[in-house]
Amino acid sequence: MPRDTLYSHDSADLGPFEFNDGVARVFPDMLKRSIPGYGASIAAIGSLAARFVQPNSHCYDLGCSLGAATLAMQRNISVQGCRIVAVDNAPAMVARCRESLTENDNAGWPAVSVVEADIRDIEITQASMVVMNYTLQFLPMAARLAMIQKIARGMHTDGVFVLSEKVLDEDDTVEKTLNDLHHEFKRQNAYSDLEISRKRAALDNVLIPETLAAHLQRIRDAGFSHAGVWLRYFNFVSIIAIR
């Protein structure tokens, strides 16, 4: 696993964060060292796939990056006739995702289509499981409700939607504490203060978080019958919603 040193040297690209070749190359290490609970969220996606995916239905990984959630679904679906659609708009991510899925190909697993596209342009149909793992936060705020509504309209009854996001706390003191704890988590994973500062600046106005309450209200407004948090670690949450 190549180590993430993108923001450690003087020649680092200090422009806005983007999912380019450099990020794609070190992305697994970046996720492991930057997002508390990331591994647990991927494991749970597999468990949810085993529980909720319905026969002859579609599953979607929207903002698939290198395909970790796709693989978790693919390895745990036990019913027949399912197809997984993995979507990302970053060419570097799509190329590496296709390589990874080819390397992990198993004739007994559901077929996967990896699509290079804006997730807002994808039609959601006959879905029993949809995953957005740290993806919605990169969409413009004005596009978020329409995206969740599209997902809800395209889902079967009792289908499951998994939404993982970085969130803001409504209490400023708690928010500062959670941010401090997150930065300490990064330091414990060998990121320097300079790297943390540069990464934060690169993500400013690129990753736009919201409160947990805003996410839950949007999910209910979109038409999901049930929604709640199943995992929280500092200011990172994963929500399950059932259609």
Our count of domains for the chain comes to 1
Per-residue pLDDT at 196: 96
**3-class DSSP state for residue 61?**
strand
d(CA 237, CA 230): 8
pLDDT higher than threshold 80 for residue 58:
yes
Q: Examine residue 214 and state whether it is found in any structural domain, yes or no.
A: yes
Q: Examine residue 30 and state whether it is found in any structural domain, yes or no.
A: no
pLDDT higher than threshold 90 for residue 195:
yes
d(CA 19, CA 153): 29
Position 240 confidence tier, pLDDT thresholds 50, 70, 90: very high
Domain limits for position 90: 38-168+206-242
Which CATH number goes with the domain that contains 70? 3.40.50.150
Structure-token pair, residue 167: 């969130």
pLDDT higher than threshold 80 for residue 12:
no
Share of the chain above pLDDT 70, in %: 98
What is the pTM assigned to this prediction? 0.94
Number of H helices, E strands in the chain: 8, 8
Per-residue pLDDT at 100: 86
pLDDT higher than threshold 90 for residue 106:
no
